[in-house]
Amino acid sequence: MVEARGLTKRFGDFTAVDAVDFRIERGEAFGFLGPNGAGKTSTMRMVSCLSPVTAGELSVLGMDPRHEGPRIRGRLGLVPQEDTLDLELSVRDNLYLYGRYFDVAKAVLRPRVESLLEFAHLTDRGGDKVDDLSGGMKRRLTIARALVSEPELVILDEPTTGLDPQARHLLWDRLYRLKQDGVTLIITTHYMDEAEQLCDRLVVMDHGRIVAAGSPPSLISEWSSKEVVELRFASGRQEEMAGALGGFAERVEVLPDRVLLYVDDGDEVLLKVREAGIRPESALARRSSLEDVFLRLTGRSLVD
């Protein structure tokens, strides 16, 4: 569906995307995980043919965005990071008029708008002004709107940023349904739980580069241990305690507010730490996550 080789985006002297390679297959959910400013949005804008490629090769749906931008966009659904809904118009009008941008015939569009309202859980809000909707509703409407042209590929740039947990789960459910129905999804996010939930494969981006690629479980097994023990000490003492903990784990990471021990069996290590007379203020054993992968690869947390 999408293939990039040496894809680069520069704004003046600043290199936002630095020679990245990736390949996205039909029907998969592909993620771009990374902190703000990693180059995810710039990559998405190039793939959606909204922003010209500075250097490298890019093919979307077998076409070259340089020459066939509008033709490609006709087959894409785009959920931008910031909503571009028309707040003055009704929910239904937003879907309808967006469909007309794609020249979907009126007779086809009317019933399609109704089924998309249902898809977005907005049937009873169809006549309301978009201005009156909650953030989660607006986001669902933006996603429904991106589907109005029946795209083969849907690009979602941070679909759930700024939403409360309940709204996020409802949205994930909708995206999961799309995936089940065979739509290819590209998702950028800085939430590791979102990437783990939705993505078949993903790349981890940092400073415009891809630092790792694979499925969430394979990334975790490649770059992290099975489990993690999190120990919290009095503020300012994390560094000092980390020294004493070196012997308990294959790797130790020190964060401003806690120490992470990368181990195979968390509970066992926790027990050993207690036996050694070390008394953290709080302790927790958990499974490794993409957050740990990111920390390992970049030395920084995803979300601060």
Partner 1 sequence: MTGRGGERRGGWRARLPGSAAPARLEGRAAVLRVYGYMFHRYRRTWRGTITSSFLYPLMYLLAMGIGLGHLVNHHLAGASSPVGFSRLGGVGYVTFIAPGLLAATAMQMATNESTYPVMEGVKWARTYLAMLAAPIEARDVQRGQLLWIATRVAISGAVFLAIMAAFGDVLSPYAVLALVASTLTGMAFAAPVAAFAVTRENSTSFPIMYRLGIVPLFLFSGTFFPITNLPGWLQVIARVTPLYHGVELCRALVLGQMNAASLAVDTGYLACLVLFGVYFGGRTFAKRLAQ
Pull the structure tokens for residue 137: 């509703």
Beta carbons within 8 Å of 86's beta carbon, 6+ residues apart: 93, 94, 97, 130
132: which DSSP letter?
Answer: G
Q: Looking up tokens 């109005």, which residue turns up?
A: 148
Does 116 engage in binding with partner 1 (CB under 8 A)? yes
| Contact status: 126 vs partner 1 (CB under 8 A) | no
Asked if 13 interacts with partner 1 (CB under 8 A), we say: no
Taking the complex as a whole, how short is the minimal distance between the CB of residue 187 and partner 1, in angstroms? 16
- Cβ atoms of 17 and 43 closer than 8 Å: yes
Q: Could you say which of 57, 66, 115, 218 contacts partner 1 (CB under 8 A)?
A: 115
Contact present, 5 and 175 (Cβ < 8 Å)? no
Pick the binder of partner 1 from 33, 76, 171, 283 (CB under 8 A).
76
Q: Would you count residue 102 as binding partner 1 (CB under 8 A)?
A: yes
Residue 86 CB neighbour total at 10 angstroms: 14
Interaction between residue 178 and partner 1 (CB under 8 A):
yes
Task: Please identify, using beta-carbon distances, which residue of 63 and 297 lies nearer to partner 1.
Answer: 63
Contact characters 50-69, partner 1, x per CB under 8 A: xxx--------xx------x
Cα(46)–Cα(52) distance, integer angstroms: 6
Does 177 bind partner 1 (CB under 8 A)? Our answer is yes
What is the distance, to the nearest Å, from the Cα of residue 214 to the centroid of all Cα atoms in its chain?
Answer: 14
Angle between the 165-180 and 135-146 helix axes, to the nearest 10 degrees? 10
Contact region for partner 1 (CB under 8 A) — 78-86, 120-128, 246-254, 291-299?
78-86
Between 84 and 134, CB nearer to partner 1:
84
Residues 135-164 binding partner 1 (CB under 8 A) are 146, 149-150, 152
205's torsion region: left (phi>0), alpha (psi -120 to 50) or beta? Answer: beta
Q: Residue 233 corresponds to which tokens in the numbers above? A: 């000490």
- 124 lines the binding site for partner 1 (CB under 8 A): no
Q: Per CB under 8 A, does 105 bind partner 1?
A: yes
Give the CA distances from residue 87 to residues 191, 264, 279, 297, in Å, rounded to whole numbers and listed in that order.
Answer: 28, 52, 55, 42
Among 40, 92, 112, 258, binds partner 1 (CB under 8 A): 112
Contact 212, 292 (CB under 8 A): no
- Asked if residues 282 and 232 have their Cβ atoms less than 8 Å apart, the reply is yes
Q: How far is the CB of 303 from partner 1 (least distance, A)?
A: 26
192 binds partner 1 (CB under 8 A): no
Rounded-to-integer distance, Cα 203 and Cα 47, Å: 15
- Residues that bind partner 1 (rule: CB under 8 A) add up to a total of 53
d(CA 197, CA 106): 37
112 vs 296, which CB is nearer to partner 1?
112
- Is residue 117 near partner 1 by the rule CB under 8 A? no
The verdict on 88 binding partner 1 (CB under 8 A) reads yes
Q: Which of 57, 101, 173, 281 binds partner 1 (CB under 8 A)?
A: 101
The residues binding partner 1 (CB under 8 A) are 11, 26-27, 45, 48, 50-52, 61-62, 69-71, 73-76, 78, 80, 82, 84-89, 93, 97-98, 100-105, 107-109, 111-112, 115-116, 146, 149-150, 152, 177-178, 180-184
